[in-house]
Amino acid sequence: MNYIFENVTKNVFVLAVWDSSWNSYNNCYFIVEDHGVTVIDSGKLQHAKYIEEALYSIGKSVEDVVLFIATHGHEDHVQSAALFTKAKKFIHPNEKNMIEYPEPEQFHYELPDQGIFRDFDCQLVGYHTPGSVIFYHRPTQVLFTGDFLCFFGDPLSADGIVSEGNELREAWLDYLKEGGVPKEQLPAFLEGLKTIQPFDSIAICTGHGGVLVGESKEFVTELLKVGNSLLLF
């Protein structure tokens, strides 16, 4: 494995660990503030050492992590949360019976379907897993989508992991046009897109691969346009 650790915007960092068994980058995110570090998603258990290395590189440690929030309960998003012994850990209650974590009682199952959680807008999108949520961090205007929108198994943009990622956007639109989202799941996916469309985000931090910077609303609007056209057939 290798990893990429970069700044997304002020105080927000992406750690993308290459997982050769899945042929994909698995992403997690750090928000560094005066009162401590918030981590969003955490990678598999074998990714833990990379989290420690990344935190150390910015003068922090796992002891500084005060909050962990998961977009959903799959192993590549929760297992390394075991590192954060001083943090409160949160996930949506719909994930309680499927979280892939050895000690699920460590989590608080209290994320709202829709509403404010700490400095975040939290929205249940209900696509990918029953409790998949997205987070919009108000202070930085960064949107965290987990696997609701991600680039699992896709190559990074030629411009790097944090970029406009125009070729990635086009690939997602083509994926949608070609039936990548099954028709029976399309209404739920589109409803999820509608919940995130209003956010004026400067970056979309995805669950795997590229982080998209700029024109977030335009990208979501185009996905909605394509998706709605598919419902007509």
What region does 113 belong to: left with phi over 0, alpha with psi -120 to 50, or beta? alpha
CATH number at residue 57: 3.60.15.10
Write the burial class of residue 89 (CB in 10 Å: 0-12 exposed, 13-18 middle, 19+ buried).
buried
For 136-185, write each residue's pLDDT tens digit. Answer: 999 999 999 999 999 999 999 999 999 999 999 999 999 999 999 999 99
Distance in angstroms (rounded) separating the CA atoms of residues 209 and 18: 9
Strands 114-117 and 120-124, how do they pair?
A: antiparallel
Q: Residue 200 belongs to what domain range?
A: 3-230
The type of residue at 42 is S
Report yes or no on whether pTM surpasses 0.85.
yes
Residues forming beta bridges with residue 25, ordered by sequence position? 18
For 78-122, write each residue's pLDDT tens digit. Answer: 999 999 999 999 999 999 999 999 999 999 999 999 999 999 999
Looking at the structure of the chain, the number of domains it has is 1
Tell me what percent of the chain is helix, strand and coil, each rounded to the nearest 5: 30, 30, 40
Largest CA distance in the chain: 54
Q: Give the count of alpha carbons within 13 A of 137, CB side only.
A: 24
